[in-house]
Structure 1
Amino acid sequence: MASRIKYLWLLVFQVILVILFCVFVRYDGDNKVNLRGYEDTHVMIYVGFGFLMTFLMKYCYGAVGINWLLAALVAQWSIITQGLFHMKDMIIPLNKKVILEADVMSATVLITFGALLGRASVNQLLFIAIVEALIGSLNLYIIEKVIEGSDVGGSMGIHTYGAFFGLAVSAAWVCCRKKRDQPQDDDGHPLEKPSYMTDVTSMIGSVFLFIYWPSFNAALTATDADYQRAVVNTYLSLAACSVVTFALSAFLRHGKFEMEHIQNSTLAGGVGVGTVCNMHITPGGAIIIGMGAAFVSVFGFAKLKASIYNNCPCLFLYLTISALTISLCEYIWR
């Protein structure tokens, strides 16, 4: 009987969402109907992130399905949570931009999902997603309206927030883990192993993310000129990041490519340039950002992963250094 009602609360939560939508959400006419980037972002969320998460052979099947469930839930919930900060006469206007922003918030939760895959249960992931989307909406409001920061590609409010949220939850688990947990080697947990097939399917997700990332970063730009700069800068950053990632991976692996680097570090350029992608950073500046992102990501995977996994203080040191680096970069570009 317990297994039958395991996810009954999820149905109750969906009913609550229906009530909230019926009371507060209304169509916004033809406002933002020509907004670009929504369809591409949708592919990134459900196909790109979904297949990227298949990198663990034990959790490969569930990863795509749970990714789908989390994205579908958060997309609805974040329309409400983000709409609370933009209500007009107690009404949340619903248009294409609002749906796009809901998908973007889903990306935040899915980034956290990548840090918790294989450790958290589905119920735990759903609870984390609901809490994270609520706090994430407040975080975006502070960035956009309070401090008036520029973050069109979501590098601060989406990627960094999602990654830090996942690392914070992981750190809590590391601090509280019991001695009877399964032994670990230098490569981490015994279950943290890929297979040939999971590496291939994860690469499918990486390719989709690589292709659609320029549209993701440019989707919320204000003008055609900003949109074009965002697309160009993002693509150049991704391209340079990919080249450096392959080169560094081969260097660290004695001439062989490490699939973990190729699946993840090749995308770091899109994250790194997101905050400033619509600015006049010059094409050379976009390439420099992509190269720098590749160095940080590849060496992070290669040199810090095992020590962070087995040493909680090292995790907090890494978080601190990352936060200071991000703040410094934002200050320089301003």
Structure 2
Amino acid sequence: MPSNYRNFRHSVPWLILLLETVFVISFYFVPSGGKTVIPTVSYADFQDVNHMMIFGFGFFLTFLRRYGFSSTGFNLLIIAFGVQCSILTESLLHLWDQREDEAVKRITKAAMSMTAVVISTAAVLGKANPVQLILMTIVEIIFFHMSKGINNAFLMVQDGVGMMHVLLFGAYFGLAVSSRFSEPSPRSEKKASTPKSDLFAMLGTLFLWVFWPSFNSVLFIEDRKKAIYNTYFALATSAVTAFALSVLTTKDGKLRMAHIHSAVLAGGVTVSYVADSIDYPWIAMILGLLASAIAILGSYSLERCWNPVLKIHDSAGVHFTFGLPGVLGALAQVVIFIIKRWNRGPRLGYYVMFHIGAFCVTISIALITGFITGLILNLKLFKTSPASKYFDDLFYWEFPHLAVGF
């Protein structure tokens, strides 16, 4: 352990300082933001998204009994790095069209793009060390913006809808990366939760639940109120359904915190693709119900059948929390598009293929780049923490009050 600790200490600080120096120099050449008379994103909108990322996801990932410090601390670290990297990446990709967003909108979009990284981090929670997390953040942000740029430029996906692909991209990128990490011992007690850690994780879920309507609506201008309205009803229905199905699917007929922790958010994930185009709240409610059912039922099938076959250890269950509900939302987007434009004639199929293509491009790029990233991160150059130290704060954080273990 001492040699591994020195390796960690000698690599992380210098990597952080080097990357931050590069960011500072790079921002010298980045404009401060477009000047607009009427800003489309307010500071209050940015606050909602920022609270969701820092507080919501920070506490959402604290369910591991001995990994609470790392879950919240490393979440803040990668978001602080990732937002800077996201702004630089988007600025470089938009040089050709001379497009420049206002300053608040730019940083809001950067924070939203970090959702992909945080979700991917959840898939390898407790297994990836800080060096791997920082490198994964930079690589994933670059490839996510490339994926979004392809959808915007070639598949005519609107910017607001294109940003919602961040949920799908993060889930499947994280699963692909996780497939390259060694699985923890099935007898390991450190990957379990405690009532206290579950309570903190539920606090994160509550933050995410409260701020998800802002996340789904912040980039829309004309239909923002409709997006908020539909997102809330989808979240409400998914929460109610989660409580009902949790009781029905447990052997002793009691609520299971893991179900509530993940399934109550499924409605917000699913409706994110169609929040601005749903005309009736009952449609959003049906999507919320289906999303919650998929999240709870999917947790059984994926953990027992799918993940063991593919040798994937999904630490936080991102596949059934964000992946499958995201797929449902993408399919709902296609169905609603067909219903609304049924009388367009032969060109309807042409436009439908654009939506399906965007969905396929996002998942394909996420899986391919995630798999390659996982291979790179597991090179001996970056693998500083042994498998025996998975899910353990003690390898990274100081605990002066502990004499022996904790």
2:75 counterpart letter in structure 1: N
Q: Which residue of 2 aligns with 1:257?
A: 255
Change (3 A) 1:303 1:144: same
Distance, in Å, in 2 between the alignment partners of 1:257 and 1:22 is: 53
2:32 match: 26
Question: What does residue range 135-174 of structure 1 map to in structure 2 within 5 Å?
Answer: 135-150=143-158, 152=160, 156-173=164-181
Deviation of the 1:26 alpha carbon? 2.6
Q: Which residue of 1 aligns with 2:307?
A: 309
User: Deviation at 1:144?
Assistant: 2.6
Q: Give the secondary structure class of the aligned counterpart of 1:24.
A: coil
Report the 3-state secondary structure (helix = DSSP H, G, I; strand = E; otherwise coil) of the residue aligned with 1:117.
coil
Q: Shift of the alpha carbon at 1:82?
A: 1.4
Structure-2 separation of matches of 1:29 and 1:233: 32
Residue 112 of structure 2 corresponds to residue 104 of structure 1 = yes
After superposition, the Cα gap between the structure-2 partners of 1:155 and 1:99, relative to the gap in structure 1 and judged at 3 Å, is closer
Secondary structure of the residue aligned to 2:160 is: coil
1:5 is displaced (CA, Å) by 2.5
Structure 1 gap segments, 5+ residues each: none
SS in 1 for 2:272: helix
Distance 1:32-1:301 versus aligned 2 partners, 3 A rule: farther
Match of 1:278 in 2: 276
CA offsets per residue over residues 75-101 of structure 1, 9 Å max, x none? 000001112222379796651110000
Structure-2 residue corresponding to 1:217 = 216
Contact 1:150 1:275 in 2 (8 A): no
- Measured after TM superposition, the shift of residue 184 of structure 1 is 1.6
State the Cα deviation string for residues 182-239 of structure 1 (Å, max 9, x = none).
Answer: 5426xxx64321101101101111001101110110000022xx01100000000000
Q: 1:247 to 1:136 in 2, by over 3 A?
A: same
Aligned partner of 1:246 in structure 2 is: 243
| Preserved contact between residue 152 and residue 221 of structure 1 (Cα < 8 Å) | yes
Counterpart amino acid of residue 332 in structure 2: C
3-state DSSP of counterpart to 2:226: helix
Look up the SS of the partner of 2:265 in the other structure: helix
1:69 aligns with 77
Report the Cα offset of residue 29 of structure 1.
2.8
Deviations 1:32-67 (A, max 9, x none): 635142110010000000000101112112100000
Q: How far apart, in 2, do the equivalents of 1:312 and 1:32 lie?
A: 50
> Higher RCO, 1 or 2 (CA under 8 Å, sep at least 6)?
2
Residue 51 and residue 255 in structure 1: after superposition, are their counterparts in 2 closer, same or farther (change >3 A)? Answer: same
Q: What is the letter of the counterpart of residue 142 of structure 1?
A: I
Amino acid paired to 2:39: V
In structure 1, C-alpha distance between the alignment counterparts of 2:286 and 2:280, rounded to whole Å: 10
Match of 1:184 in 2: 186
With the length of structure 2 as denominator, give the TM-score of the two structures: 0.73
- Superposition deviation, residue 140 in structure 1: 1.4
Shift of 1:312: 0.5
- Farther-moved stretch of structure 1 (77-86 vs 62-71): 77-86
Q: Distance in 1 between the 2:205 and 2:8 partners?
A: 35
- Alignment map for 1:94-133 (pairs within 5 Å): 95-133=103-141
AA at the equivalent of 1:211: V
Note closer, same or farther for the CA distance 1:238–1:325 as it changes in structure 2 (3 Å cut).
closer
Equivalent residue number for residue 237 of structure 1: 234
Counterpart of 2:224 in structure 1 is 227
When residues 94 and 220 of structure 1 are mapped into structure 2, their CA distance, relative to the original with a 3 A threshold, is closer
**Aligned-partner Cα distance in 1 for 2:268–2:329:** 15
How far apart, in 2, do the equivalents of 1:152 and 1:29 lie?
Answer: 20
Give the alignment's Cα RMSD to 1 decimal: 2.6
- Unmatched runs of 5 consecutive residues or more in structure 2: 1-5, 314-318, 338-406
Is the CA contact 2:230–2:278 (under 8 Å) kept in the aligned structure 1? no
Q: Match of 1:45?
A: 53
Matched, 1:79 2:87: yes
Q: Write the deviation string for residues 117-137 of structure 1: whole angstroms up to 9, x where unpaired.
A: 011111111111110000001
SS at 1:161 equivalent: helix
Distance in 2 of aligned mates of 1:142 and 1:46: 29
Alignment of 1:35 onto 2:32:
no
CA distance in 2, matches of 1:235, 1:109: 25
TM-score, length basis structure 1 = 0.88
| 1:194 and 2:193 matched | yes
User: What code does the residue aligned with 1:38 have?
Assistant: F
| Greater mean deviation of Cα atoms: 33-42 or 43-52 | 33-42
Does structure 1 residue 5 correspond to structure 2 residue 10?
Answer: yes
Alpha-carbon separation, structure 2, partners of 1:17 and 1:95: 17
Cα distance in 2, alignment partners of residues 10 and 193 from structure 1: 31
Q: Which moved more, 1:301-310 or 1:200-209?
A: 301-310
- Counterpart contact for 1:154–1:217, Cα < 8 Å: no
Q: Which residue of 2 aligns with 1:332?
A: 335
Q: Check whether the contact 1:155–1:273 (CA below 8 A) recurs between aligned residues.
A: no
CA contact (8 A) 1:24 1:92 kept: no
